[in-house]
Structure 1
Amino acid sequence: MIKAKPTAPQNDETQKETKEKHRSIVSIITWVIAVLMILLMSASLYQYLRGQSLLELINLKSEQIGSDNSNVVLPTYAAADEYQSVKRDANADTVLPTGYRKEPVSYTVAPGDSIFGIAQSFDLEPESVLWANYDVLNDDPHLISVGQDLVIPPVDGILYEWKEGDTLDKVAAKYYVDVDDILLFPGNDLDMTNPTIEPGTLVMIPGGYREYETWVVPSVASSDAGVNSTILGPGGCSTSSGGSVGTYTFIWPTPYRVISGNDYWSGHQALDMMCYLGDAIFASDSGVVVYAGAISGGYGNLVMIDHGNGYQTLYAHLSTINVSCGQNVYQGQVIGGCGSTGNSTGPHLHFEIRMNGGMINPWLVLQ
């Protein structure tokens, strides 16, 4: 009979390995559980701290609103018997700028006034003031006089007196605007459903425009080419070609480089320069005097110089004249004194520059 060999040692080794594996697994599980617990605790702590911050913020807002946390009693709701309303007339221009006028006003001309200056004071273009006073100015800005009453339109455009037979379409087309420009202007106070306008009614045409006559002293050129030109009037004379010739440069003819009254614009193609009564007036450039004396048209005492190169300069409203027609003059020479003769509201120099008989803006060439 054969006896089996003992197996106990092998069993001991196997059991030992199994226990080691179990320990490793338990250790890993323990670490995993520990990590999960740490993460869970961190998340809980974050939520707690976040909740505390929000609570502090809420408390802070409450303190800012006020410490009185008592309940607010709201008024008992009661429906009105009828809805309240505010009656409002339709107005195409609901939002009106500050200082906006809808009606024309009257202005009395004061010493030193000009159409340009008056228009500026009412924030208007000078043409608008000129057009509104055609019956007294006849499109000539020099015809204003101290004490004269002028009509000042509310906005730029044409202040028009409605005539028998006029229609909105005809008047709008005549002054280059749309019918709606007339209808919607509040000052016209027109019924949009039946815009009837009685003859004699003053109607404002905002943005309207018309041609007008520009008043200037006409130059009369000699029949011979190159001969000095002159102007008609008692102070004019015939002069032969030659004499002093201009330098094509123009100096200020007054002691001050200041505009007093009208600047250069379409209805006043000259500069009104500041000067005091009796101040010296200088020749702006060299040339030959072709007019020296009084003249009609509102210019008063006038000197005109032909510079022999296509240019002429004109000096108006002088109190005195120091040169004679046909005399050679040189740039900077005194030709007269500042005055207020003719149609003038105060001492100043009306200064024009012409090129081949046409008016040019003196600002383009004055030095």
Structure 2
Amino acid sequence: MRSGSEVARNLLSSKRPLYLGIRLHLARSAASAAGEQGVRNWVSGHTRKWLNARWTDDLLRSRIAAHIAVILLIALVITFANRSLYMLPLAEGRLARLILLTQQISSVPAAFPADTRRNESLLPSGSIAQDDAILMRAAVPSTFMPALRPRAEITTYVVKPGDTIFGIAAQFGIKPETIMWANGRFVEDNPDLLRVGQELIILPVDGVYHQVGKGDTIEKIAATFKVEPSAIIDYPLNNLDKDDPQIQVGQWLIVPGGTKPYVPRRVVAYEGPIPQGANKGTGSFGWPASGSITQGYWERHRAIDIGTWEGAPVTAADSGFVVAAGWDGSGYGRMVLIDHGNGFQTLYAHLKVFYVKVGDSVAKGQKIGEVGATGNATGPHLHFEIRQNGSQRNPFGFLP
């Protein structure tokens, strides 16, 4: 009978191949696990090193941040676009309900008369179209513009910065001349010399505001301003008795539609003989200064104003000889008048200085002075006139 130790040795001997196989498998598994762990550790370590190296690169970080921002922006746009498309039917539904409510209100009888013509122009019949339960307003090809109410009283206007006679006249729907004729000779002769805070009389209609003088009659006033006497008598603000109209000295009258004759400013020119060898004009005019047109030619300003910097050169528009050079007290300030010997004269006003004297012969393009702001001028500019046989002409018709 075998002992226990022999039995154990025999068992191990008989199972030895299996035992060795198990040990070999376990060893291989351990080696494989160790290898995989080593690979993971290697990959993790190198990946960490790569990210650390790259993240310290400022350019790479900027690119990544820019890409993320672009992606977020695209996502926001898509989100809001979908939201807008979703809300569009709701907005159209609200619009339809508003239109229907407007029609219902307009169909209710008013407590006082309404302008049915105006309502029809704003809400024409058949202006609502239905499509898939959504009501939409059809296009209305006309727009109703209410007419300005005529004023029935004289208004006082206070000049603000930037105001001009033309702008104020347009604001009240009257002509610039009406404002000029109602506010004294100074405004009439110098419409560009408004002062901030100055009070202007604004008539309710175009015409003349006249103060009755000694010897005036309604007939004389009407003839002076070229209207019929009835225009003065029948105007309500004049408060005249139509059967027996009486006027008093000092009384102010509105002359609707009246006009005042233009009285040009005059200068005293040289009337002596033409100097020997004086240049004669070519008949072709050139611009006397460079700048921008600040005021054009019109009934109460028969010249053009060229705005530019003080001291800018002023040149003769054509050849001729100087017949006036000096100070003019009527508003021109320092001025030069050139006779071109062919029926034309040119006048240059508001000069800072002038370089010619009476009797000098000048050539076309010759410097005769500098732009200034003398006389009745609010800023540096050249006041330029062209006169033909004593009549002031529009310079735009003669300049290139």
For normalisation by structure 1, the TM-score amounts to 0.57
Supply the AA of the counterpart residue of 1:270.
A
The alpha-carbon distance between structure 1 residues 170 and 330, as it changes in their structure 2 partners (threshold 3 A), is: closer
Is the alpha carbon distance of 1:203 and 1:352 closer, same or farther for their aligned partners in structure 2, counting shifts above 3 Å?
A: same
- Alpha carbons of 1:191 and 1:213: their partners in 2 closer, same or farther (altered >3 Å)? same
Residue 123 to residue 322, structure 1, CA distance change in 2 (3 Å): farther
Aligned residues: 262
Match of 1:260 among 287, 290, 294: 294
Correspondence for 2:376 among 313, 319, 343: 343
1:198 is displaced (CA, Å) by 7.1
Name the CA distance, whole Å, in 2 between partners of 1:121 and 1:274.
25
SS in 2 for 1:293: strand
1:259 partner SS: strand
* Distance of 1:181 and 1:247 partners within structure 2: 50
What is the match of residue 8 of structure 1? none
Q: CA-to-partner distance for each residue in 1:86-106, whole Å, 9 max, x for gaps?
A: xxxxxxxxxx94274333334
Match of 1:300 among 333, 336, 347: 333
User: Quick check: 1:334 aligned with 2:367?
Assistant: yes
The separation in 1 between residues aligned to 2:335 and 2:161, in whole angstroms, is 21
Q: Does 1:141 align with 2:190?
A: yes
Show the 5 A alignment for 1:116-155.
119=169, 123-134=173-184, 136-137=185-186, 140-141=189-190, 144=193, 146=195, 149-155=199-205
Instruction: Read off the aligned partner of 2:320 and give its amino acid letter.
Output: G
Quick check: 2:314–2:370 contact (8 Å CA) kept in 1?
Answer: yes
Counterpart mapping for 1:114-263 below 5 A: 119=169, 123-134=173-184, 136-137=185-186, 140-141=189-190, 144=193, 146=195, 149-162=199-212, 171-182=221-232, 185=235, 187-188=237-238, 200-211=250-261, 213-222=263-272, 224=273, 227=274, 240-256=275-291, 258-261=292-295, 263=296
RCO (CA 8 Å, sep 6+): is it higher in 1 or 2? Answer: 1
Residue number among 286, 289, 293 corresponding to 2:322 in the alignment: 289
Q: Secondary structure at the match of 2:298?
A: coil
1:42 corresponds to:
none
CA RMSD between the two structures: 4.3
The match for 2:392 is: 359
Is the contact between residue 142 and residue 298 of structure 1 (CA under 8 Å) also seen in structure 2?
no
Q: 1:121 and 1:316 mapped to 2: Cα distance?
A: 31
Give the Å deviation of 1:271: 1.8
Distance in 2 separating the partners of 1:260 and 1:252: 15
Normalising by structure 2, what TM-score?
Answer: 0.53
Change (3 A) 1:168 1:314: closer
Determine the C-alpha separation between the residues in 1 that align with 2:199 and 2:381.
22
Deviation at residue 212 of structure 1 after TM alignment: 5.0
Aligned residues with identical type, % of pairs: 43
Match of 2:351 among 318, 326, 334: 318
For 1:243 and 1:292, locate their aligned partners in 2 and report how far apart those are by CA, in whole Å: 16
Mapped partners of 1:166, 1:301: distance in 2: 38
Q: Cα 1:357–1:114, aligned 2, differ >3 Å: closer, same or farther? A: farther
Which secondary structure does the structure 2 equivalent of 1:131 belong to? helix
Structure 1 residues 101 and 338, CA gap change in structure 2 (3 angstroms)? farther
1:313-353 Cα distance to aligned partner (Å, 9 max, x none): 11000122233444333222332222110111222211111
Letter matched to residue 315 of structure 1? Y
2-structure distance, mates of 1:118, 1:343: 21
> CA offset at residue 120 of structure 1?
5.9
* Kept in 2: contact 1:139–1:212 (CA 8 A): no
Change (3 A) 1:217 1:124: farther
Match of 1:105 among 155, 161, 171: 155
- Structure 1 distance, partners of 2:357, 2:330, is 21
Deviation of 1:205 (Å) = 1.5
**3-state SS of 2:399 partner:** coil
Alpha-carbon offset, residue 366 of structure 1: 1.6
Structure 2 equivalent of residue 278 of structure 1: 311
**Other structure's SS at 1:305 match:** strand
Q: Which structure has greater helix proportion?
A: 2
Shift of 1:357: 3.3
Q: Describe the superposition over 1:4-43 as per-residue Cα deviations: whole angstroms up to 9, x where unpaired.
A: xxxxxxxxxxxxxxxxxxxxxxxxxxxxxxxxxxxxxxxx
Q: 1:157 to 1:280 in 2, by over 3 A?
A: same
After TM superposition, give the deviation of residue 244 of structure 1 in Å: 2.2
